[in-house]
């Protein structure tokens, strides 16, 4: 009786003897038997995997039918904005050279003294004469004066009551020489007409006072 726990060595697998026995059996089979045997072996290898695949596919189809159908998500039809090339604006600052302002030229007409002669007077009698000057600039103001000495009025005569107005598109100034002369003789007097823009005119006239 063998002791408990004793391990017996396994008989070695003799591959060469098995292959030789298979060859002997194979050589004894006919051609049709060999074809049938190969077909059987192939079917035995292929058929189980085909049946398994079929069963799995059937199970997947059953699960697909039982699961709620989710409607397909519609494609996103939002147009993608197309950006043109980035254009950086160029700002050109034109610096004009400093210009000297052109002086405004003011054209001014010179006053004109209208008198060419003065009336003759008599000693100790009232004397009156009008002095007139005009200017084509209707906005001008004309001032009339007599002198300087000795080209002044005879004794006891004076110029007064000057007035300015517009007549026939002209600025006009009238001044009155008035008084009672006390001395006879011929007096050369100078009449001056000046406007408010600097224009001026002079005229010398003779005033005669008879005895």
The pLDDT value given to residue 13: 53
Is residue 154 a contact partner of residue 206, using CB atoms and an 8 Å limit? no
Question: What is the overall mean pLDDT for the chain?
Answer: 82
Q: Is the pLDDT of residue 26 over 90?
A: no
Residue 200 in this model has a pLDDT that exceeds 80: yes
pLDDT value of residue 152: 94
pLDDT of residue 66: 61
CATH number of 112-210: 2.60.40.10
Give residue for tokens 């008989």: 11
Proportion of the chain above pLDDT 70, given as a percent: 69
Of the ranges 63-67, 103-107, 193-197, which one carries the lowest mean pLDDT score? 63-67
Residues 121-125, mean pLDDT to the nearest whole number: 97
pLDDT confidence band for 30 (50 / 70 / 90): confident
Q: Is the pLDDT of residue 8 over 60?
A: no
Q: What is the pLDDT of residues 127-172, one digit of tens each?
A: 999 999 999 999 999 999 999 999 999 999 999 999 999 999 999 9
Is residue 99 very low, low, confident or very high in pLDDT (cuts 50, 70, 90)? Answer: confident
pLDDT at 101: 76
List the chain domain ranges: 15-65, 112-210
Per-residue pLDDT of 42-96, as tens digits, reads 877 776 666 556 655 666 666 656 665 666 666 666 666 565 566 666 666 666 6
């Amino acid at each position: 009786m063998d002791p408990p726990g004793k391990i017996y060595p396994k008989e070695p697998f003799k591959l060469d003897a098995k292959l030789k026995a298979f060859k002997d059996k194979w050589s004894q089979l006919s051609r049709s038997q060999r074809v049938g045997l190969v077909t059987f072996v192939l079917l035995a290898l292929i058929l189980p995997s085909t049946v398994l695949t079929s069963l799995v596919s059937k199970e997947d189809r059953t699960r697909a039918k039982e699961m709620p159908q989710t409607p397909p998500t519609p494609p996103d039809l939002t147009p993608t904005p197309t950006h043109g090339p980035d254009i950086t604006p160029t700002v050109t600052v034109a610096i004009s050279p400093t210009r000297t302002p052109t002086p405004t030229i003011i054209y001014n007409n010179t006053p004109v003294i209208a008198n060419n002669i003065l009336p003759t007077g008599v000693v100790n009698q009232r004397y009156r004469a009008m002095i007139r000057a005009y200017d084509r600039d209707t906005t001008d103001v004309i001032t009339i004066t007599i002198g300087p000495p000795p080209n002044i009025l005879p004794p006891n005569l004076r110029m007064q009551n000057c007035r300015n107005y517009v007549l026939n598109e002209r600025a006009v100034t009238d001044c009155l020489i008035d008084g009672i002369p006390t001395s006879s003789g011929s007096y050369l007097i100078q009449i001056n007409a000046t406007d408010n823009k600097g224009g001026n005119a002079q005229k010398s006239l003779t005033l005669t006072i008879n005895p």
